[in-house]
């Protein structure tokens, strides 16, 4: 509730104004003298002041009101002030309006006009104050970014800006951070930023891709192994935790860690203690752990593949990274970074690159840029140089140009479903995919013909059932293996009458 201060030497005027304003949802303070008014402004959060111009009996010069106005201005330069008086001093009124008085009214006042003026002035003041606060925060953020090590990251989207800001904020602490997001979106880059701006930046920074390590060697890689601990272990080796002692350990694809490895990891996070494989000697390390995953750990917890207590140890702070197709403002800056200063994009290529869904995210975009630079016949790159149709799906009878946009992947899935289920459509009706590796003709140039891309394969009931059996009914994994979203997989299962 906004608070209005009423300053007038006539108590009846104060009471009348207070009653009117309170009936319209404002809180009020009243006083009879400038001295008390200044004290109230110091104590309370005042949104607006309505002040008289004369406070001494038989005084009509307006000098007292003028003096109060300037005193209020010195206290709060942006505070809206409405001047109201029975004696009209035009020269003073003009002077004070030039100095920032918000409005000037005579007595008796018009209730409707005064209420309208008060409402508008408070709204403007609130917006101005919020804008000032945002500018202050933005200024502080820019100073922080200017002094920060961003590890060469390229971005322009608000989503990525928020992720980077949060990474810089939590870098100063020593808590565990879980970075989530799809493959290829840049989770490792955020881990780099966190370490590079932390008090541990001059200490070891060890990275481990859990998904790339053989399951039977995973624990040895993390915790080390004594000679003879397993076949092929001819000498003692330290694990990644020992290598990162005093610094930071980044565990990528943490969702692939075995249950036995999770127990040991939980112990290290709780106590800093562990044993090498084949050893009974307890060792102690001090390591900050950053982890990342593209998996739905909440689902893995429910299905018994991931420990809930470990999840909360890793996830003191979660830093979520959006897929590239939700950060469209990042696409062209990234492309310009990857292709370098010797190449440029034509308008058509810019439009198509931004419209593409990039299921492989930044990694896919980088690979597409590398291919384009190597195979392009010209320094001005076209959509065809990236292996993309010049006008996505425009020739497809199932999808019109107006349907194409940010949700391009959903359009493709819908078209695929229709191809499978609609008996009128022939198998020869092709859905042109957008993100295929470009085919190189004998001349060495990338084909600009959209038909050069292969047609979508039809996923039948047997294929879905086989994948369900293989992955024990875990929908997320079945969808990933078939190259579908979970929504598309559910639609197909319903259509074929498949029960999980």
pLDDT in tens, 171-208: 999 899 999 999 999 999 999 999 999 999 999 999 99
Chain centroid to CA 445: 39
Tell which wins on pLDDT, 342 or 429.
342
Please state the rounded mean pLDDT for residues 268-296.
Answer: 91
Structure confidence at residue 108 (pLDDT)? 83
Task: Tell me which of 81-85, 331-335, 458-462 is least confident.
Answer: 458-462
Structure confidence at residue 354 (pLDDT)? 94
Q: Please give the DSSP secondary-structure letter assigned to residue 435.
A: -
Q: How far apart are CA 437 and CA 418, in angstroms?
A: 25
Which residue ranges form the domains of the chain, and what is each CATH number?
A: 3-127 (3.40.50.2300), 158-322 (3.40.50.300), 326-454 (1.10.8.60), 459-500 (1.10.10)
- Most distant CA atoms of the chain, gap in Å: 106
Structure confidence at residue 245 (pLDDT)? 94
**What does the pLDDT look like over 7-36, one tens digit per residue?**
998 899 899 999 999 999 899 999 998 899
Residue matched to tokens 């008289």: 52
Strand order in the sheet with 317-320: 205-209, 248-252, 288-293, 177-180, 317-320
With beta carbons less than 8 A apart as the criterion, state whether 342 and 309 touch.
no
Please state the rounded mean pLDDT for residues 220-238.
Answer: 82
Structure confidence at residue 468 (pLDDT)? 86
Q: Containing H/E element for 460? A: none
| pLDDT grade for 461, boundaries at 50, 70 and 90 | confident
Q: Is the pLDDT of residue 93 over 90?
A: no
Structure confidence at residue 466 (pLDDT)? 86
Encode burial over 199-232: b for 16+ CB neighbours within 10 A, e otherwise. Answer: ebeebbbbbbebbebeeeebbbbbbbbbeebeee
Beta strand pairing call for 48-51 and 3-7: parallel
Please state the rounded mean pLDDT for residues 404-419.
Answer: 41
Share of the chain above pLDDT 70, in %: 80
| pLDDT grade for 331, boundaries at 50, 70 and 90 | very high
Tell which wins on pLDDT, 1 or 241.
241
Q: How far apart are CA 350 and CA 331, in angstroms?
A: 9
Q: Is the pLDDT of residue 403 over 60?
A: no
Q: Is the pLDDT of residue 397 over 50?
A: no
Task: Tell me which of 190-199, 293-302, 318-327, 440-449 is least confident.
Answer: 440-449
Structure confidence at residue 346 (pLDDT)? 93
Please state the rounded mean pLDDT for residues 91-102.
Answer: 67
Q: Is the pLDDT of residue 428 over 70?
A: no
Q: Containing H/E element for 292? A: strand 288-293
Tell which wins on pLDDT, 431 or 467.
467
Residue 33, SS3 per DSSP: coil
Q: Over the chain, what is the mean pLDDT?
A: 80
Q: Is the pLDDT of residue 315 over 50?
A: yes
Q: How far apart are CA 107 and CA 270, in angstroms?
A: 73
Please state the rounded mean pLDDT for residues 161-173.
Answer: 92
Q: Which of 233-242, 243-252, 271-280, 458-467 has the highest mean pLDDT?
A: 243-252
Q: Which of 162-166, 396-400, 432-436, 484-488 has the highest mean pLDDT?
A: 162-166
* Phi, psi at 462, each rounded to 5°: -65, -40
Q: Which of 50-64, 149-163, 221-235, 445-459 has the highest mean pLDDT?
A: 149-163
């Amino acid at each position: 509730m906004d608070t209005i201060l009423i300053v007038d030497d006539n108590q009846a005027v104060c009471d009348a104004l207070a009653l009117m304003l309170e009936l319209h949802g404002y809180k009020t303070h009243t006083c009879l003298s400038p001295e008390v008014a200044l004290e109230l402004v110091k104590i309370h959060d005042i949104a607006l002041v309505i002040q008289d111009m004369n406070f001494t009996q038989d005084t009509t010069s307006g000098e007292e009101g003028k003096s109060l106005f300037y005193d209020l201005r010195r206290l709060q330069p942006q505070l809206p002030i409405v001047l109201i008086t029975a004696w009209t001093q035009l020269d003073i009124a003009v002077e004070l309006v030039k100095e920032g008085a918000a409005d000037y009214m005579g007595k008796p006042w018009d209730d409707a006009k005064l209420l309208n003026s008060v409402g508008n002035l408070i709204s403007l003041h609130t917006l101005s104050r919020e804008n000032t606060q945002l500018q202050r925060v933005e200024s502080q953020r820019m100073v922080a970014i200017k002094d920060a090590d961003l590890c060469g990251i390229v971005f322009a989207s608000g989503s990525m800006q928020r992720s980077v800001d949060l990474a810089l904020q939590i870098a100063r602490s020593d808590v565990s951070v879980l970075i989530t997001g799809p493959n290829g979106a840049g989770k490792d880059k955020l881990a780099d930023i966190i370490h590079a701006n932390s008090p541990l930046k001059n200490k070891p920074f060890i990275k481990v891709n859990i998904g790339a390590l053989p399951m039977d060697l995973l624990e040895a890689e993390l915790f080390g192994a004594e000679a003879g601990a397993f076949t092929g272990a001819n000498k003692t080796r330290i694990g990644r935790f020992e290598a990162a002692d005093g610094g930071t350990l980044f565990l990528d694809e943490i969702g692939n860690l075995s249950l036995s490895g999770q127990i040991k990891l939980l112990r290290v996070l709780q106590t800093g203690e562990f044993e090498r494989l084949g050893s009974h000697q307890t060792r102690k390390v001090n390591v900050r752990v950053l982890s990342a995953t593209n998996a739905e750990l909440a689902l893995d917890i429910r299905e018994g593949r991931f420990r809930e207590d470990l999840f909360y140890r890793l996830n003191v702070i979660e830093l979520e990274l959006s897929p590239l197709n939700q950060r469209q403002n990042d696409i062209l800056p990234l492309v310009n970074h990857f292709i370098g200063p010797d190449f440029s994009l034509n308008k058509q290529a810019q439009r198509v690159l931004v419209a593409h869904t990039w299921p492989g995210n930044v990694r896919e975009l980088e690979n597409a840029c590398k291919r384009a630079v190597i195979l392009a016949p010209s320094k001005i790159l076209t959509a065809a140089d990236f292996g993309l149709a010049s006008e996505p799906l425009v020739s497809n009878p199932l999808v019109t140009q107006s349907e194409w946009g940010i949700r391009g992947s959903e359009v493709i899935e819908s078209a695929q479903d229709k191809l499978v289920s609609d008996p009128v459509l022939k198998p020869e009706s092709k859905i042109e995919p957008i993100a295929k590796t470009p085919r190189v003709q004998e001349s060495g140039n990338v084909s600009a013909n959209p038909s050069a891309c292969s047609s979508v394969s039809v996923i039948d009931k047997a294929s879905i059932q086989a994948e369900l059996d293989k992955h024990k009914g875990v929908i997320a994994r079945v969808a990933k293996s078939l190259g579908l979203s979970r929504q598309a997989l559910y639609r197909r299962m319903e259509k074929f009458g498949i029960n999980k």
